[in-house]
Amino acid sequence: MDLNKLVYFVTVAEKQNITYAAEALHMTQPPLSRAMKELEEELGVTLFIRGKRKFALTEEGRYFLEQANNILRIADHTKAHLCKMQDEALSGKLRLGTTESAAGEILPGIISHMRQMYPKARFEVYCGNSADICNRLRSGLIDVAFVRSPYDQSDFVSNYVGRQKLIAFTGTGHRLADRDAVTVEELAGEPLLLPSRPGLRDEILTWFDGMEPKANVLVEYNQIASIWPLVAMNIGCAICPESDLFLMDDRKLHFMNIEGAGHDSELFVIHLRNSEFTPLARAFTELAQKQ
């Protein structure tokens, strides 16, 4: 039984006039009259004694009016209770994992939006590399996370967020500091500072396959904050996702594109497969994809 028809019926019964009821419901008279006729046919009874000016209730109509009001009260109570349950579900703590670059570029905007939409939500943020974050997800220590490719996707539900290029940077006094772009061949001749995460590090190293000299890896780092001051001393070239720019002092560094295709990284928001996916985690994931 359509709840809208119950609302129509109660309004007609209260107004005792189809025209006045239609005005109260902000609709025209013909569809309201048709709805009342369909309701009577569905119930198999006559609800109204129809006069020129007045719609009087039959005995069945008076009984149905009482029941219709009860049903509508129950529906309103149920809707209010479900809204309260949803509000409570979106008021807990969300444990987030994020890479350093996502923490600097994407996460602030998402948490700001979440704070406006779900003011009772609270957040616990853990920052690490993608391998570390994946392990924490598997252990149940965090609920949802940003990670960069490549990573082992077998244990996770992965939602694509976006693609970002990898860049190179040096100190402002470095011999390449007047360049807007650098080739992989030129990088091979420099002391390199690379991300330590095996998947990303190994992918970068494949750029140098077959080259002479081979890639000269001077430093492997897990957080950009630990090495950019070193790069500022002009000891070599570092490679990082472009979003890491938010985390460094660009007055002391020079940033360059890396020429050639395929020098980029994809960002995903993920959660553990077959685990409880809370309404708050779902809301965060959906917002991250929109961002």
β-pair partners for 51: none
In the predicted model, what is the mean pLDDT of residues 152-163?
A: 90
In this model, does residue 179 exceed pLDDT 90?
yes
Distance CA 89, CA 169 (A): 44
Q: pLDDT digit string (tens) for 32-70?
A: 999 999 999 999 999 999 887 888 999 999 999 999 999
In this model, does residue 192 exceed pLDDT 60?
yes
Count of structural domains within the chain: 3
Domain's final residue, options 47, 68, 89: 89
Residue 140 belongs to domain with CATH number: 3.40.190.10
The mean predicted confidence, pLDDT, of the chain is 88
In the predicted model, what is the mean pLDDT of residues 230-257?
A: 90
- Residues 65 and 111 both lie in one domain: no
DSSP the chain: --HHHHHHHHHHHHHS-HHHHHHHTTS-HHHHHHHHHHHHHHHTS--EEE-SS-EEE-HHHHHHHHHHHHHHHHHHHHHHHHHHHHHHHTSSEEEEEE-HHHHHHTHHHHHHHHHHH-TT-EEEEEE--HHHHHHHHHTTS-SEEEEESS---TTEEEEEEEEEEEEEEEETTSTTTT-SEE-HHHHHTSEEEEE--HHHHHHHHGGGTT-SSPPEEEEEES-GGGTHHHHTTTS-EEEEEGGGGGGS-TTSEEEEEE-STT-EEEEEEEEETTS---HHHHHHHHHHHH-
In the predicted model, what is the mean pLDDT of residues 113-137?
A: 89
- Residues 256 and 171 both lie in one domain: yes
- Residues 176 and 259 both lie in one domain: yes
How would you label 126-136 residue by residue, b for 16+ Cβ within 10 Å and e otherwise? Answer: ebbbbbbbbeb
- Residues 77 and 151 both lie in one domain: no
- Residues 222 and 274 both lie in one domain: no
- Residues 24 and 103 both lie in one domain: no
- Residues 222 and 257 both lie in one domain: yes
- Residues 120 and 171 both lie in one domain: no
Q: pLDDT digit string (tens) for 277-287?
A: 888 888 899 99
Q: Which domain holds residue 76?
A: 3-89
Q: Which of 128-132, 225-229, 240-244 has the highest mean pLDDT?
A: 225-229
Q: Residues 6 or more apart from 75 whose CB is under 8 A from it?
A: 3
- Higher-confidence residue of 91 and 114: namely 114
Q: Specify the pLDDT at position 129.
A: 83
- Higher-confidence residue of 145 and 263: namely 145
- Residues 258 and 182 both lie in one domain: yes
Domain's final residue, options 89, 118, 145: 89
Domain's final residue, options 89, 113, 135: 89
- Residues 170 and 262 both lie in one domain: yes
- pLDDT interval class at 28 (50, 70, 90): very high
- Residues 135 and 222 both lie in one domain: no
- Residues 206 and 237 both lie in one domain: yes
- pLDDT interval class at 105 (50, 70, 90): confident
Q: Specify the pLDDT at position 77.
A: 84
